[in-house]
Structure 1
Amino acid sequence: MTRPHALLRVGVTYEKTLGMRRLTNTPVDLAIGNDGDLHILSRSDELTFIRRLSFNDDDLGAVNLVGGGGQVGGTSKTDGHFVWPAALLMDSDENLWVSDEATCQISNITVEGKVICQWGEQGSADGEMNRPSGIALDSNGDIFVADTLNHRIQ
């Protein structure tokens, strides 16, 4: 039996496997905090959450994302509601950014799950998105979004 969810370091030998207690439940992305803790975005048909683990595999709790388990193509625009989150990153203030392919939104939340801001509409005009997936921040704090089905970066 192979062990999923392994942590690998490029140019270094295998280090360890985390989340084998099924705490991760279909992880799709992760972000590393300044303290070295891992914030793991997990989604499935039943549950969507961000689990926090230490490098020693200590369970440090979870932020249950409102919603989850929705159908891709869902349309809920409720603050903090996620249908099919795709990417996770952490900014220098230790706040999390999440892209949601189904709602075509980008959300900025605290590590406790409080919504700071959320924006996005489905479409192809400037500022609109169609299945936003990857997200990145530059050193100025500008966010870049892989606007997947519009075939562009915004």
Structure 2
Amino acid sequence: VTPQGVVTTLAGGPEDYGKIDGEGSNANFNCPSAVAVDGDGNIIVADCGNHCIRKVTPQGVVTTLAGGPEDYGKIDGEGSNANFNCPSAVAVDGDGNIIVADCGNHCIRKVTPQGV
């Protein structure tokens, strides 16, 4: 929302849902449930329906940091090797770690800036 109250879409869109990384409306989400902003101005997204944590740059480029819809569950690991079950909230601490409320697994998880 701009200071003038104008709302624009940074990434994703209502036409299709899914998990596609990309720029702007070429990217897809599936029930994004929470966002936080890191120290570089990136938006960190808890993508509940895709069971993953995503990043949206200030330019609108979407990438997946950890997890994915192929296998949901609770496995710690690096990047797509980690599993979540409907992450519902995110926060970023002073060291750039992403703190995740992993709703379906009833736990709080941490993703490092390196995606671990």
TM-score of the aligned structures, taking structure 1 as reference length: 0.54
Structure 1: 5+ residue stretches without partners:
1-51, 71-75
1:112 paired with 2:59, answer: yes
Determine which of 101, 106, 110 is the counterpart of 1:146: 101
Structure 2: 5+ residue stretches without partners:
22-26, 77-81, 110-116
What CA deviation, in whole Å up to 9, does each residue of 1:104-152 have, x standing for no partner? 0111111331124433131122231100011011100011110001000
1:94 paired with 2:41, answer: yes
Determine which of 15, 19, 23 is the counterpart of 1:77: 19
- Map of 1:131 onto structure 2: 86
Once residues 94 and 53 of structure 1 are traced to their aligned partners in structure 2, the CA distance between those partners, rounded to angstroms, is 16
Higher RCO structure, 1 or 2 (CA under 8 Å, sep 6+): 2
Give the number of the structure whose residues are more often strand, by fraction.
Answer: 1
**Percent sequence identity over aligned pairs:** 31
Checking the alignment, whether the CA contact within 8 Å between 1:67 and 1:82 is kept in structure 2 is: no
Report the AA paired with residue 74 of structure 2: S
Distance 1:64 1:137, change over 3 A: closer
Report the AA paired with residue 63 of structure 1: L
Report the AA paired with residue 77 of structure 1: K
Structure whose alpha-carbon radius of gyration is higher: 1
TM-score of the aligned structures, taking structure 2 as reference length: 0.70
Checking the alignment, whether the CA contact within 8 Å between 1:68 and 1:83 is kept in structure 2 is: no
Distance 1:68 1:148, change over 3 A: farther
Checking the alignment, whether the CA contact within 8 Å between 1:84 and 1:102 is kept in structure 2 is: yes
